[in-house]
Amino acid sequence: AQSVAQPEDQVNVAEGNPLTVKCTYSVSGNPYLFWYVQYPNRGLQFLLKYITGDNLVKGSYGFEAEFNKSQTSFHLKKPSALVSDSALYFCAVRDIPFNDYKLSFGAGTTVTVRA
């Protein structure tokens, strides 16, 4: 079975500081990994994905994530956080080829960036 864990419900950082949002996963096959961001009263917006290839993936709004197979992690990072990065972040995984239809989501991490 596939699953995703986001161990931190909340992350608080000061503007200009590095931001990290943690994600670990469990799959039977190969993981396709995704990060989404949700602003208040909005739908989820795609940030980045790992399918194969380079372990460091770059995405929208200056975010990047590093796939670590040995630690089964896919942490989201931004070198210098902005107040506008304050939102709810979701990690998600597909278990290929066992569950190619289903994207399983973590519970979400609320990021607050203070000015």
Partner 1 sequence: DADVTQTPRNRITKTGKRIMLECSQTKGHDRMYWYRQDPGLGLQLIYYSFDVKDINKGEISDGYSVSRQAQAKFSLSLESAIPNQTALYFCATSEVTGELFFGEGSRLTVL
* Residue ranges that bind partner 1, judged by CB under 8 A: 4, 9, 32, 34, 36, 41-46, 49, 51, 90, 94, 96, 100-103, 105-108
Q: How far is the CB of 115 from partner 1 (least distance, A)?
A: 26
SS3 79: coil
Which of 56, 107 has the CB closer to partner 1? 107
Q: How far is the CB of 6 from partner 1 (least distance, A)?
A: 8
Residue count (the chain): 115
Which of 16, 29 has the CB closer to partner 1? 29
Q: How far is the CB of 80 from partner 1 (least distance, A)?
A: 25
Q: How far is the CB of 89 from partner 1 (least distance, A)?
A: 11
SS3 93: strand
Which of 14, 61 has the CB closer to partner 1? 61
d(CA 25, CA 31): 8
**Which residues, at least 6 apart from 50, have a Cβ–Cβ distance to it below 8 Å?**
31, 32, 33, 34, 57, 65, 67, 74
Which of 13, 34 has the CB closer to partner 1? 34
d(CA 85, CA 115): 11
d(CA 29, CA 11): 30
